[in-house]
Amino acid sequence: MRALITKGGIATWINIRESDFLDQKFNEDIVLEKKELSEREAYIAQNLVTRGVLDKTVNNGEAGYKLNINKFGKSS
């Protein structure tokens, strides 16, 4: 397990699968489109949205995800 600190300053614990997903998909500060994700990855992303780790954006009817991480307080 690993703790991430969101922009609100709240520490959130994430499991190995979520950690691997974040490491693979969010190397840069980008918006990841939902259509690029498998069903499992979309499920993980939506769970991370409910816990405040990701922000969900909707642009022209297309959903996307962006990190909501406080990079100054990030811990591994």
**In this structure, what CATH number is given to the domain that contains residue 54?**
1.10.10
The predicted pLDDT at position 14 comes to 92
The predicted pLDDT at position 8 comes to 77
64 and 57 Cβ atoms separated by less than 8 Å:
yes
In a domain, 76, yes or no: no
Q: Beta-carbon neighbour count of residue 61 at 10 Å?
A: 5
Residue 18's pLDDT band (cuts 50, 70, 90): very high
Strand-strand pairing, 32-33 and 62-67: antiparallel
The predicted pLDDT at position 72 comes to 55
Please give the single-letter amino acid code of residue 49.
V
Domain that holds residue 26: 2-67
Give the chain's domain count.
1
For residue range 23-62, list pLDDT tens digits in order.
Answer: 999 888 788 999 999 999 999 999 999 998 999 999 888 9
3-class DSSP state for residue 3?
Answer: strand
User: Residue ranges of the alpha helices (H) in the chain?
Assistant: 16-25, 39-50
The predicted pLDDT at position 10 comes to 81
Give the DSSP H or E segment for 71: none
Q: What is the pTM of this model?
A: 0.81
